Amino acid sequence: MLVIRPIAAQDFSSLKAVAIESGIGFTSLPDNDTLLENKIHRATHSFTKVVAHPEDEGYLFVLEDTDTSTVVGTCGIESSVGVDDAFYNYHVGKVVHSSRELNIHNTVEILTFCNDYTGMSEICTLFLREQARLPNVGKFLSKSRFLFIAEHKERFTDKIFAEMRGVSDENGRSPFWDWLEKHFFSLDFPTADYLTGIGNKVFIAELMPKYPIYVNLLSEAAQAVIGAVHEKTKPALALLEKEGFKNRGYVDIFDAGPAVEADIDQIKTIRESTRKPAIAGAVPEDNLHIIINTEVADFRAVCQPIRITDDHIIMSQQAMETLHIKNGDIVRVSPV
């Protein structure tokens, strides 16, 4: 059975394998042993911390195949970005140049350097290993975070966002960064991406152009990828859009991938969730739901068939054991 649980110290080698497989552009999980160890330590502390409101917690989950004890995916939530390290985006806006006398009216897009997402919760670090890319598994991994948020709202902000991986080639070159590199940085995309991933962001503030950038001055290749996502990220973006996430015009400063956001209470998985006591019993084969317990440090999520009655949520005994619950314990569920 597949189960989502908090990451633990013994998952280091699995997390490193995921970091290597995810490749360049997956900024939240760089291949750096010290950083990965720090991520695990921070996550284990966050899951055991008593929280009244979001501060600087980082929740990192792993997807484990209990039959083989193999970690096959990760996903995460940042409670409040930019609290300790600055968090940057570009906002895509417009300016108008017009002359009534000459009857000329030109509207052009600009990119404005900003910190607008500072303090907001972020879903991040979603990666599913190749061997686990089966029907509904990606949905399970992504949507489980929303149920965790719904159950523990005090740990997160009322609005949440996600940064989507932008366009880059098989060698990690980004058309958008190529233009910035040429004019401002003299630093290739893999290096910039890696430095950001390990928390070294000072160079961004030091070298990034401070004034708005006119989009029509960028190369055609750079213009073409603003707000576009990496081919492997399209399914994740489509899933978030179905959940109600919207693009408000923010893009990543390195690869120009889009950021999308949503009010927590408007997220489909949360709106459609049900919270009731669980009991073991017979269930149909086709009524798949994501099921979570109500714990934090001992959080567990599974994707299993259930039956919902007026008073209970009925599931298999195996599902209950995997969730670390007993008859009468409260669970939260939502359809896949």
Listed in sequence order, the residues at least 6 apart from 80 whose beta carbon sits closer than 8 Å to its beta carbon are: 54, 55, 56, 57, 119, 120, 121, 157
| Of 45, 183, 230, 289, catalytic | 230
DSSP 5: E
Q: Are residues 52 and 122 in the same domain?
A: yes
The CATH number linked to 76 is 3.40.630.30
Answer yes or no: is 16 within a domain: yes
Closest CA to 230 of 56, 27, 43, 92: 27
For residue 199, how many other CB atoms are within 10 A of its CB?
A: 13
Residue pLDDT, tens place only, 79-130? 999 887 778 899 999 999 888 888 888 899 999 999 999 999 999 999 888 8
Q: Provide φ and ψ at 21, rounded to 5°.
A: -70, -30
Q: Are residues 245 and 323 in the same domain?
A: no
The CATH number linked to 318 is 2.40.40.20
Residue pLDDT, tens place only, 244-291? 999 999 999 888 999 999 999 999 999 999 999 999 999 988 899 999
Q: Are residues 143 and 54 in the same domain?
A: yes
Q: Are residues 82 and 181 in the same domain?
A: yes
H/E stretch holding 210: none
Answer yes or no: is 31 within a domain: yes
Answer yes or no: is 96 within a domain: no
DSSP 141: H
- pTM beyond cutoff 0.85: yes
- The boundaries of the domain holding residue 324 are 272-335
Q: Are residues 200 and 312 in the same domain?
A: no
- Domain end, chosen from 219, 234, 269, is at 269
Q: Are residues 163 and 45 in the same domain?
A: yes
Instruction: Work out how many domains the chain is built from and give that number.
Output: 2
Of the pLDDT bands very low, low, confident and very high (cuts 50, 70, 90), residue 187 is confident
DSSP 183: I
- Domain end, chosen from 226, 248, 269, is at 269
Q: Provide φ and ψ at 145, rounded to 5°.
A: -65, -35
E-strand stretches of 66-165: 70-78, 89-99, 104-114, 121-128, 159-163
- The reply to whether 230 belongs to the active site is yes
CB of 66 closer than 8 Å to CB of 75: no
Task: Please check the confidence at residue 53 and state whether its pLDDT lies above 70.
Answer: yes
